[in-house]
Amino acid sequence: MIYSEKVMDHFANPRNVGEIPDADGVGEVGNAKCGDIMKMYIKVNDGIITDVKFKTFGCGAAVATSSMATELIKGKPIEEALKLTNKAVIEALDGLPAVKLHCSVLAEQAMKAALADYYRRQGVDPALIIGDLSAPDTCEI
């Protein structure tokens, strides 16, 4: 299996690993295909994601995609984070082997679950903004 240099870099030196104790939103999801688990924490100020961290019991591709996803949404408005797809994360990593594409879904779903939690805490129904949060077990590519 060939991984891109970017995937290897984000796997070996993952960005934003950890937890945020006073997070404004926390999302935890599991991958139906492999049983791996991902937890993501976000801090929001004035509609901007000021900090994001993740922890995973997952494979190298899950670590790399989550690392890249957190880098892509950190410092961005929530609306932009909501538009981030696993496809965009894979592109930013210069691709993933086909058998590992499903791993990238974990990062996208954890991020959306954290955003949904944030909206819930604000008293807003996340379904109105994010839509269906049920995790697909296949990726969109």
Q: Which helix (H) or strand (E) holds 25?
A: strand 25-30
Query: Residue 49's CB: how many other CB atoms inside 10 A?
Result: 24
Q: Is 108 in the site for ligand FES (CB under 6 A)?
A: no
Quick one: which of 42, 81, 96, 103 contacts ligand FES (CB under 6 A)? Answer: 103
Question: In this structure, are residues 75 and 7 in contact, taking their beta carbons and an 8 Å threshold?
Answer: no
Based on the residue annotation, tell me whether 34 is a catalytic residue of this protein. Answer: yes
Which residue of the set 103, 105, 106, 110 is catalytic? 103
Establish whether 103 is a catalytic residue: yes
Over the window 12 to 31, marking each residue x when it contacts ligand FES by CB under 6 A and - when it does not, the resulting string is -------------------x
With CA atoms as reference, report the closest residue to 26 among 131, 120, 135, 132.
Answer: 120
Among 23, 44, 49, 61, binds ligand FES (CB under 6 A): 61
Look at residue 28 and give its three-state secondary structure. strand
> Angle at CA 109, nearest 5°, toward 113 and 29?
70
Question: Does 40 engage in binding with ligand FES (CB under 6 A)?
Answer: no
Cα separation, 79 vs 83, whole angstroms: 7
Least distance from ligand FES to the Cβ atom of residue 21, Å: 25
Among 14, 25, 58, 126, binds ligand FES (CB under 6 A): 58
Residues with a known catalytic role: 34, 103
Interface with ligand FES by CB under 6 A: which residues? 31, 34, 36, 58-59, 61-62, 103, 106
